[in-house]
Amino acid sequence: MSSKPPGIEEESICVLVSGGADSAVLLCEMAKTYRKAVPLFIRNGHLWEEAELYWLGRFLKAAAHPAIKPLQILALPMEDVYHTHWSMTGREVPDYASTCVDVYLPGRNLILLSKTAVFCALNDIHAVALGPLKTNRFADSSPAFFEGLRKVAELALSTRLEILAPFSDKNKHEILRMGRELPLELTFSCLNPVENRHCGACNKCAERIEAFSEAGMPDRTVYHDRDFAGKRSNEE
């Protein structure tokens, strides 16, 4: 696992994207380094995915860059495994007072990277980037995991693959500052969207509000619960 991109000598990179600010900034950063940055979204069936895709489409259109290629969407349904999980049912969604542990999705990066590795092998892409942050302490975001999966993927697919996590030493507010010239208001990071808008009260909304405050940047996000979002921001 590498923390930094290897350089422009690599023609292409696959970038795992959601609708969030972290992966949006990551994609644009990779577009500065690689000739082709291929954004890849994987559907697992989580309740926020339609809203993510809506905002991701808007962001990609607004942040057009010649190196960013058309969005690729793959499906890897997880309803049969996650069927009672809050991310599928919408029940007991972690709120603003919850901790990082409460938003854990078991095997998230294992799921995403397994299919991505096959996609890369079939498309002659030898690098994939994803955006876990310094605050992500889950086992499947560790350097040991990324290195182990890289070895397994290369063995299974008879190809070379590098897994990059260039934001693993950074906090969210640092990423926002890095992308301050981008249309970050078109990014989406909410666990319980309301008509494609941020709910304003979930764990991820609270994290987003706090990060914009810490970055000293205006938060132009449209929140469903404007009063709550504003109160939360003032508290931070």
DSSP 126-162: -EEE----TT---GGGSHHHHHHHHHHHHHHHTS--E
pLDDT at 72 (0 to 100):
98
Give the mean pLDDT per block of 10 residues along the chain (236 residues). Answer: 48 96 98 96 97 98 95 97 94 90 92 98 97 92 97 98 97 97 97 95 94 96 74 52
Asked whether the whole model's pTM tops 0.85, one would answer yes
CA atoms of 109 and 24, how far apart (whole Å): 17
Model pLDDT for residues 206-235, shown as the tens digit of each residue: 999 999 999 999 999 999 976 665 555 555
pLDDT at 230 (0 to 100):
52
Per domain, the residue ranges of the chain are 12-92+106-182
Please answer whether residues 41 and 52 qualify as being in contact, where contact means their C-beta atoms are separated by less than 8 angstroms.
yes
Phi, psi of 8, rounded to the nearest 5 degrees: -70, -10
| CATH architecture of the domain formed by 12-92+106-182 | 3-Layer(aba) Sandwich (3.40)
Model pLDDT for residues 153-190, shown as the tens digit of each residue: 999 999 999 999 999 999 999 999 999 999 999 999 99
